[in-house]
Amino acid sequence: MIIIDVLGKPCPVPVIEAKKALAGHNLSSVIVKVDNIVAVQNLEKMASGLGYVFSYVTNSENSFDVTISKSGDVSAMAQDAESDDVSSGISEVMPGGENRGSGAQKLAVVIGSDTMGSGSDELGKILIKGFLYSLTELPNPPKYVIFFNSGAYLTSEGANTIDDLRKLEEKGSEIMTCGTCINYYGLQEKLAVGKVVNMYEITERLTASDNVVNI
């Protein structure tokens, strides 16, 4: 992990520096120190566009530590870095095992229906609920769980799958629902977990994954 101090540097500098660091070094994560929330938001767009995991800590109105990680493990990294002696510019920090996960296989689970299998819808709904619960029990949860078509109901208010999906999110999975599908079923105001993505982003995630499980 490295720390990139771009306090006082205008966009797109923070995004470029972070992107270069993640591409150029064999790193699993970077911490980017920025001084405004707009830079945080731009870093988030880059991270989400490239399928990285994003989190940030607000130190003060003018100080934010953004952690961007290639793996799902970002727990408390930004806080850990606080204790490190950070000078200006890019400084190498001992990896200390943070590379764990960078070699892990990226798994995407794609769910195109609010039921599992064909036959009884009632049974299918029980099965899909059980499947999502099982995902939360995996030692390495999927990197992406992507919902489309009537699968969009599973991420919307009122679904019995929300708690399991939130648990997956806590474990580092990115939960994504197709925006066209949300609009089609009129669920715009109801998204309860994860974020809305377009087909371009879905395609990008799927092609960047090592394994895809299609339900």
| C-alpha to C-alpha distance for 28 and 73, rounded to whole angstroms | 9
**Taking CB under 8 A as the criterion, which residues in 45-74 touch another protein?**
45-46, 49
Gyration radius of the chain's alpha carbons: 19
By CB under 8 A, is residue 187 in contact with another protein?
A: no
Q: Which of residues 154-183 bind another protein (CB under 8 A)?
A: 179-180, 183
197 binds another protein (CB under 8 A): yes
Within 14-33, the residues that bind another protein by CB under 8 A are 15-16, 19
Q: Which stretch binds another protein (CB under 8 A): 80-88, 138-146, 167-175, 196-204?
A: 196-204
Tell me the C-alpha distance between 201 and 207, whole Å.
Answer: 10
What ranges in the chain are assigned the alpha helix state H?
13-24, 37-49, 77-82, 121-137, 162-170, 179-184, 199-208
Stretch that binds another protein, among 39-47, 84-92, 135-143, 163-171 (CB under 8 A): 39-47
**CA neighbor of 210 nearest in space, from 106, 111, 55:** 106
- Kindly state whether residue 205 participates in binding another protein, applying the rule CB under 8 A: no
**Any contact of residue 89 with another protein (CB under 8 A)?**
no
Estimate to the nearest angstrom the gap between the alpha carbon of 27 and the chain centroid: 17
Is 107 a binder of another protein (CB under 8 A)?
A: no
Contact status: 130 vs another protein (CB under 8 A): no
Q: Are 162 and 179 in contact (CB under 8 A)?
A: no
Which amino acid belongs to residue 197? V
Of 123 and 184, the one with the shorter C-beta distance to another protein is 184
Q: Which range binds another protein by CB under 8 A, 4-12, 153-161, 164-172, 206-214? A: 4-12
Nearest to 54 by CA among 19, 89, 23: 19
Positions touching another protein (CB under 8 A) are 10-13, 15-16, 19, 36, 38-39, 41-42, 45-46, 49, 179-180, 183, 188, 196-201
